[in-house]
Structure formats: structure tokens, C-alpha cells
A and B are shown apart, each in its own frame.
Chain A
Amino acid sequence: MMDGVEILLVEDNPGDIRLTQEAFKDSKLNNNLSVAKDGVEALAYLRREAPYENAPRPDIILLDLNLPRMDGRELLAIIKEDAALKRIPVVILTTSDDEKDVLATYNLHANCYITKPVDLYRFGEIVKNIEGFWLQIVKLPPE
């Protein structure tokens, strides 16, 4: 892996975006967090379409489910069917703890599903765990 991990956060809530940024700032890993506010932006970023021609390829995608324009489930389906994109691990990070959502997203080949906790400290721990597992322990695909 290159130095510095590329993370794409797909999230529309500015409050959540900021919280996630804060949590990753505390990280020991060298990381770069990019943000897309909905599915359409995210897809343009991943496919390096304008205005994201120079976007780096993310090592991991953190995906919220309830997004405007194109929601998380739709985006997940598209990513996992796209030959160029489907190997990127997608971590669902959402408020819902509904069994139906969990089932649906795993069916669409999400790599894992995490419910965002209310508590700030717990959220920080979860982000640490994501880093620790996906970005340190796990071997990511070359491309």
C-alpha cells in the first residue's frame, strides 16, 4: 500500500461528516478522508468523472444508507456490479439497526454493516476498530 490510506466517506449529514473527520484525525494512520454527499457524487468520484478526474482510488468506502438523489443501497448495488469497483471494501455505516436493512445490504454484498452509535466515544472506538481491522489487519486487493 502507498503511504496514507484513501478513505471515501459517502454521507450527506454535515454533522456526521464532521464527527467522522474528527474521529479519523485522532488516528495514528496516515489517512486522507474524502467526502461525497450522495450516490451520484460518489459514483462520479469512483469513476473519475468530472469534476473528479484526478480522484485517487479509495482503499475503503464508508457508506451511509439514507442519501438524497441516489441512496446508499442503490450505490452499493452499482459498485458491487462494476468490475472495476467491486473489490473495494464497502463498510455500511448507518443509523438504522433494522434487520431488514442489514439483510438487504448483505445481500447486495456489503462487506460489513455497522450501526452508528449515539455516543461520541463509542463512535471513536468504532472508527478505530474499522481502521485496525480493514486498514491494518486485512489484506486489501491490489487494485
Chain B
Amino acid sequence: MAIAAVSLSAWFGGLGPGIACAALSIIGLDFFLIAPRYEFFSRPSDLLLFLIFSLLAFLISSLTESRIRSEIDLHEKTVELKTALAERIELTNQILQDRREFEMILNTLPGIVYEGVGSENAGEQRMAFISSYATEMLGYPPESWYKDENFWQKITHPDDWEDAVAKASLTYRQQLKTPVSFRCFTKDGEVRHLESYNGVITNERGERLRQCGVVMDATSRKEAELELTRYAEQLNRSNEELEQFAYVASHDLQEPLRMVISYLQLIERRYKSSLDDDGIEFIEFAVDGANRMKALINDLLEYSRVQRNHDEFEPVALDEAVQTVLHNLERSIENCDAQITYDKLPEISGNRRQIEQLLQNLLSNAIKFRGENRPEIQISAVRQEKSWLFAVADNGIGIESQYMERIFTIFQRLHTRDQYPGTGIGLAICKKIVEKHGGAIWLESTPGEGTTFYFTLPFAPGF
């Protein structure tokens, strides 16, 4: 009975209560139930019984203690496990959701996103992922790649396969960023120019795990490039032909002109005595017309030469150019006592002869179209952000604003030949020269007061 009491106490309470119950049992038994009272261990057999009883009690208590401990541990561990499992499930769901979202994003890219595994040789990789844009771009769903390891090879143009594989494998091994171009056939049998931008997936240690990338459709871009090149070539050829035409035409027109002028003059000389005044006047008109035609042809030749000239640009010192031009125009400058001044002028990059021609045309115009006062002409230069801005200002007759565009057109004149000589090509040549140098030319003018021509020229290299 005492053992039962101890067992029960131990079962429910553990070591402490078990021992307490044992102690109580001993005391109680001895005190209340077994005579003589207060005398513990009266007989030796009592002591033995007492010891056995104590041991038993202790054993039972400690065994059940550990059982209770284990139960508590188990319970705690179970709770821990359940929590961990729940967290893991949550995490996995999160990862799956992230991956889904990621794939959705990849599927919206206007290119075929791919993941290739299993080999450093791009041609032997298996596609672990193909984004759904494949259907739109080429007409094949991603499954086509999942089902067939050689699908890329099947749809790539045979001429391009080896080269593309070699390049893609190279970019994988060396982690380069250069795109790889190749042609593919769509489901409908059309050819597309593709460009794949390849990357590498590595682990935290930087070791290559898989190849990845995106394949873009460059067909329209490539076609546009081809079209542009063809068009540019056409334009170039057309330009060259035109230049050639202008040159040949003017060149070949010279000779018959010489015949006309020379023989009219020969007639005049040889048969002067037989001709009356009218006759002589007729011949003079004819010769005059032919001479003008020659001037026109010369100017056309000059104009076409500006464009035909492909000499390289060199540094040109503008003050030297101005001095050359002043020397060329010496006679006409003296004739009208023109005063020409110029600031310190810079060096620019260009064609020396053409720059001199430009300046000469502008200056001779300024002299030709002078007013009643003594011609005063100033040449100045202002440094701008990307170029020099030059100005040639005169105090001549000026130009009305409605004609300012027209005067740069070939052979356009604002006066009759009796008023001012010239074919009207000077400014057209100026414009061509300035434009050839990458600049622009324009003017400001007040009729009756003067005109200023402005033009820009690029800096000398290394400026």
C-alpha cells in the first residue's frame, strides 16, 4: 500500500513528491500503525525492510522523473518541429511565388529569355527555361525546347550554327558581354535575324553554374540598316554622277565656245572692210553673248569643283588668307580706294584654296556693291562654343530682306548686267564652301547703309 502511494506520487509529481511520499509513508507507518511508536528500526529486519522500501521508492521516483522529463522534451520538440515546418512551408511558398512572379516578368520581356544547363558547350546545353515570348517571336512554344534537346539547332540556319555555338560558348567561359548574331527559321518558315545577349549564373563562390541570356529579334533593325546602306550607296553614286556630269558638261562646252568666239573675231578682223556698221555690231553682240556663256561655264566648273575637291583639311591661318586675297584684289581695291580692316583672325581647320576663294568672293562683292561713300570693310572673328563666327561688314548698297535667301542660289542676281557685272555664282560658291567645312552662312543688311555677312567655321584640331 505504501509502495502504491509512493508510485502514485512519483507518477504524477516526479522525484520530489515520490521521496516525500516515501518519507511520509515511513513516518506514518511507524508512527501511527506499528508499535512501538517513535522507535525506528526496532528489529534488524525492520531496517532491512526500511532500506528496501527506500530504494524502491527512490528507483520508482527517478524512473518516472525521467519519463516525465522526456515527455516534456518531446512535447517541446514537437512544437519546435511544427513551427519550423510551418515556417519552411511558408518560405517555400514565398520562393515559389517569387519564382512565378519572376517568370511572369521574364515572360513579358520582348525577347526569348533562356537558361541553358549541362555543358560549357552552348550547342550541347539543355534548356531549363524558355520564356513564353518564344511563341510570339518564332511561333514555337517553350515546350518545343523542353521536349527536344536539339531544338535550337533544328531552327537555326545551318550556315550560322557552328559560329553561333562557338561564340556563345566563348562568352559563357569568359563571361563576356558581346551579343551573338545568327538566323533562325520561324514556324512559318520565315528567316529572322536574332541576337542573343548571353550571361552566366554563378554561385556565391563565383563558379559557373548555368548559362542564361535573352535572344532578341534584330530583323527589322538589320533590314533597316541594310536599307540605309543601300540608300546611302545609291545617293553617293547619284551625287558622283551629278558632279561628274556638271564637270564634263562645262569642260566639254569650252571647246565649241572657243570656235564660236575665235571665228567671229577672225571674221571681224579679216572682213572688217567688207562689213558695214550693222555687220560689225552684229558680230560684237554675238561675241559678247559667247563671252558671257564662257563666263557662265567657267563659274559652273568652279562651282562643281568645290564639291569634287576631296583634299584633306589642314590648319589655315585666316589672317594669311586675307592677306593673299587683298593682294589678289589689289587693283580693284586701289580703284575705289577701299579701306579694309581686320581683327586678329584665328586659325581654323579647312581647305586653304577654298577659304581664300570664300574670302575673295565676299570681299569682291563688298567692293563691287559699294555705295557712294568710300568703301569701308571690316572682317572680325568671335569665338563660340564649337566654332568661330566670322563677319564681313561693308557700308555698301545693302540687300532687301526678301532677297536674302535667293542670293545664295546659283546664278541668281538682283541687278541687271548694266548695273553690276557678274554671273551670280559668287555667293552660291561661298555657301558651298562654308557648308563643306561644316559651317553656316547668313547675312544682315540695311538697304542704303550696308551689309554684314556672317559665317561659321570649325576649330582647328587640337584647339
A116 partner, pick from B258, B269, B294, beta carbons under 8 A: B258
Asked if residues A95 and B266 are in contact (CB atoms below 8 Å), the reply is no
Which of B259, B266, B291 contacts A22 (CB under 8 A)?
A: B266
B260 nearest in chain A by CB position: A118
B residues whose Cβ falls under 8 Å from a Cβ of A: 251, 254-255, 257-259, 261-263, 265-266, 269, 290-291, 294
The answer, yes or no, to whether A129 is at the interface (CB within 8 Å) is no
Cβ-based interface call for A111 (8 A): no
Specify which of B255, B269, B290, B294 lies most central, judged by the most chain A CB atoms within 10 Å of its CB.
B255
Q: Is the CB of B254 within 8 A of A95?
A: yes
**Given the complex, which residues of A lie within 8 Å of B265, measured CB to CB?**
119-121
Is the C-beta of A19 less than 8 angstroms from some C-beta in chain B?
A: yes
* Complex interface: chain A residues within 8 A of B255 (CB): 13, 95
CB < 8 Å neighbour of B258 from A22, A98, A118, A121: A118
When A and B form their complex, what is the total count of cross-chain residue pairs whose Cβ atoms lie within 8 Å? 38
Interface size class of A (residues with CB under 8 A): 10 to 19
Of all chain B residues, the one with the shortest Cβ separation from A98 is: B251
A51 within 8 A of B: no
B449 shortest CB reach to chain A, Å: 40
**Taking the complex as formed, is A123 at the interface, i.e. its CB lies under 8 A from any CB of chain B?**
yes
Contact residues in B for A121 (Cβ distance below 8 Å): 265
Assess the A118–B263 pair: CB atoms within 8 A.
Answer: no
A136 adjacent to chain B (CB < 8 Å): no
Q: Is the CB of A15 within 8 A of B263?
A: yes
Contact flag A120-B269 (CB < 8 Å), given A15-B263, A19-B262: yes
Interface flag for A96 (CB, 8 Å)? yes
Given contacts A19-B266, A22-B266, A119 and B254 within 8 Å (CB-CB): no
List B contacts of A15 (CB < 8 A).
Answer: 259, 262-263
Looking at the assembled complex, report how far the CB atom of B351 sits from the nearest CB atom of chain A, in whole angstroms.
13
Q: How far is the CA of A123 from the CA of B259 in the complex (A)?
A: 12
Q: Within the complex, which residue of A16, A22, A96, A118 is in contact with B261, where a contact is CB–CB below 8 Å?
A: A118
- B297 nearest in chain A by CB position: A118
Q: Which residues of A contact B294 (CB under 8 A)?
A: 118
Q: Which residues of A contact B (CB under 8 A)?
A: 13, 15-16, 19, 22, 95-96, 98, 116-121, 123
* C-alpha gap A95/B259 in the complex (Å): 11
- For B259, the closest partner residue in chain A by CB is A15
| A96-B251 in contact given A118-B257, A118-B291 (Cβ < 8 Å) | yes
Assess the B251–A123 pair: CB atoms within 8 A: no
Q: Which residues of B contact A95 (CB under 8 A)?
A: 251, 254-255, 258
The smallest beta-carbon distance between B158 and chain A, in angstroms, is 51
Q: Which B residue sits closest to A121, measured CB to CB?
A: B265
User: Given that A19-B266, A22-B266 are contacting pairs, would A119 and B251 also be in contact in the complex, using a CB cutoff of 8 Å?
Assistant: no
CA distance A13 to B255 in the complex (A): 9
Q: Which residue on A lies nearest to B264, using beta carbons?
A: A120
Report the Cα distance A120→B266, complex, angstroms.
7
Contacts of B259 in A (CB 8 A): 13, 15-16
B257 to A: closest C-beta gap in Å: 6
What residues of chain B lie closer than 8 Å to A13, measured between beta carbons? Answer: 255, 259
Known contacts being A118-B291, A118-B294, is A123 close to B254, with CB within 8 Å? no
In the assembled complex, 6 residue pairs joining A and B whose CB atoms fall closer than 8 Å, in A order, are A15-B262, A95-B258, A117-B258, A118-B257, A118-B291, A119-B261
A64, chain B: closest CB distance, angstroms: 10
Residue of A nearest to B305 (CB): A98
Which 8 pairs, one residue from A and one from B, show the smallest C-beta to C-beta distance?
A120-B265, A120-B262, A15-B259, A118-B261, A118-B258, A95-B255, A95-B254, A118-B294
CB-nearest residue of chain A relative to B290? A118
Q: In whole Å, how far is A68's beta carbon from the nearest beta carbon of chain B?
A: 14
Contacts of B263 in A (CB 8 A): 15, 19, 120
Q: Complex: how many Å from CA A106 to CA B291?
A: 30
Closest to B263 in A: A15
CB distance from A117 to the nearest CB of B (A): 8
Alpha-carbon separation in the docked complex, A119 to B257 (Å): 10
Per the bound structure, the CA–CA distance linking A84 and B7 in Å amounts to 148
Instruction: Give complex CA distance A96, B254 in Å.
Output: 8
CB neighbours of A98 from chain B (8 A):
251
Q: How far, in angstroms, from A119 to B266 measured CA to CA in the complex?
A: 10
Q: Which residue of B lies closest to A123 (CB)?
A: B262
A123 to B266 Cα, complex, angstroms: 11
